[in-house]
Amino acid sequence: MKQTYNELHITPSGEYPLFLDLIMSLTDEAIEEFNGTLILRSENDLEMVLFGAEAFAQELSKLYGKEITLETKMLVKENEDWIAQYRNSIQPLDVGNFYIHPSWLSHREGKINIIIDPALAFGSGHHETTYGCLLLLQKYVRPGMTLLDVGCGSGILSIAARKCGAIVDLCDTDEQATQSAQENFALNHENFNGIWTGSVQKRKFEYDVVVANIIADVLIMLASDLKKAVKEGGMLILSGILDKYIDKVEQKFSSMRCVEKYQKEEWFTLVLQRN
Ligand SMILES: C[S@@+](CC[C@H](N)C(=O)[O-])C[C@H]1O[C@@H](n2cnc3c(N)ncnc32)[C@H](O)[C@@H]1O
């Protein structure tokens, strides 16, 4: 990309459609039409287009026996690097020992680095619910534990758990999410044990830790399957719970012992232990 581009404005005093046709025949660039002005933008030289339009105006004036004039303006403008601007808008994030950053930013020494590039799947780390799960995972996950991530989205939680030494399975009902999670595992040079499109019911094992950051209604619907997925003495980390639904969720999971309740803004994350 060049540093600058040219912008040509042509406003004919008459015969506008003929000038539009002429300019379309002189260039492949897109033409903007604004209040009787034709605007062309190009990194290439536009002098020939200007010259052609002026010559055409003179010829038309002769042909019609009346003066057809052009108001013209040639500007040189700075090219914006939109991709760079977009990239600059994506901020890295510290969550306890984790440092979450996109692939174009460098690692931070002394931190557990997690690379997540923006994509369609949920889970950049910035949402309060993901943040809560990340904080609690680093507190409760130990090397060698098994973990199931239900509703994996971008895979951020299972990547984090893997980086803490867990053996991880993950699933999501959305195929785009499982696809994105696999890409993010590869980006982080990490591996998972199993991944599937679907939910907790498709699991084959019981786990030391199950994490599910889904909305309250879905957690309630999945309650029995989520509880069964946890080994005796194991932990269930639930998030995606708005404060107004916390009582309802706690009641539904009351057969488990509440070990920790973390709140960030209006979002709760619960750590429950199976007896
Ligand atoms: C809020 S996102 C969480 C993403 C990621 N785990 C995080 O913490 O950032 C919830 C994810 O759950 C998935 N989901 C919704 N209902 C589900 C269900 N019944 N079983 C499994 N996943 C589900 C959605 O497709 C979505 O990717």
Domain ranges of the chain: 4-79, 91-273
Q: Write the pLDDT tens digit of every residue in 144-172.
A: 999 999 999 999 999 999 999 999 999 99
- Rounded alpha-carbon distances, angstroms, from residue 95 to 98, 124, 211, 267: 5, 12, 17, 16
Distance CA 237, CA 142 (A): 15
Distance (Å) from CA 172 to ligand 1 centroid: 6
| Mean per-residue pLDDT of the chain | 94
Distance CA 38, CA 11 (A): 6
> Cβ contacts of residue 86 below 8 Å, gap of 6+?
none
**133 touches 157 (CB < 8 A):** yes
Query: Which residue ranges have their beta carbon within 6 Å of ligand 1?
Result: 121-123, 130, 133, 150-153, 156-157, 171-174, 177, 199, 213-214, 218, 222, 240
- Rounded alpha-carbon distances, angstroms, from residue 166 to 99, 148, 155, 209: 18, 10, 14, 9
pTM for the model stands at 0.76
Local confidence band at 88 (pLDDT 50, 70, 90 cut-offs) = confident
Distance (Å) from CA 139 to ligand 1 centroid: 22
* 3-state SS assignment for residue 107: coil
Distance CA 145, CA 237 (A): 14
Q: What value does the mean pLDDT take over residues 127-145?
A: 97
Q: What value does the mean pLDDT take over residues 193-221?
A: 97
Work out whether the CA dihedral 192, 197, 198, 202 comes out positive or negative. negative
- Tell me the ipTM for this assembly: 0.99
User: How much is the pLDDT for 35?
Assistant: 95
User: How much is the pLDDT for 114?
Assistant: 97
Mutate to test the pocket of ligand 1, among 148, 156, 203, 214 (most ligand atoms within 8 A of CB): 214
Distance (Å) from CA 109 to ligand 1 centroid: 31
Distance (Å) from CA 128 to ligand 1 centroid: 14
Q: What value does the mean pLDDT take over residues 179-201?
A: 97
Local confidence band at 124 (pLDDT 50, 70, 90 cut-offs) = confident
Per DSSP, the residues of 21-51 read HHHHHH--S-EEEETTEEEEEESS--HHHHH
Please give the number of the atom of ligand 1 that sits closest to the Cα of 124.
9
- Rounded alpha-carbon distances, angstroms, from residue 41 to 12, 251, 252: 18, 63, 61
Q: Write the pLDDT tens digit of every residue in 212-243.
A: 999 999 999 999 999 999 999 999 999 999 99
CATH number of the 4-79 domain: 3.30.70.930
Q: What value does the mean pLDDT take over residues 72-80?
A: 90
- The architecture (CATH level 2) of 91-273 comes to 3-Layer(aba) Sandwich (3.40)
Question: Ligand 1, atom 9: nearest CA belongs to which residue?
Answer: 123
Which of 6-20, 85-99, 209-223 is the least confident region? Answer: 85-99
User: How much is the pLDDT for 84?
Assistant: 74
**Percent of the chain beyond pLDDT 90?**
87
Q: Write the pLDDT tens digit of every residue in 243-270.
A: 999 999 999 999 999 999 999 999 999 9
**149 touches 213 (CB < 8 A):** no
Map tokens 């990547």 to a residue. Answer: 159
**Percent of the chain beyond pLDDT 70?**
99
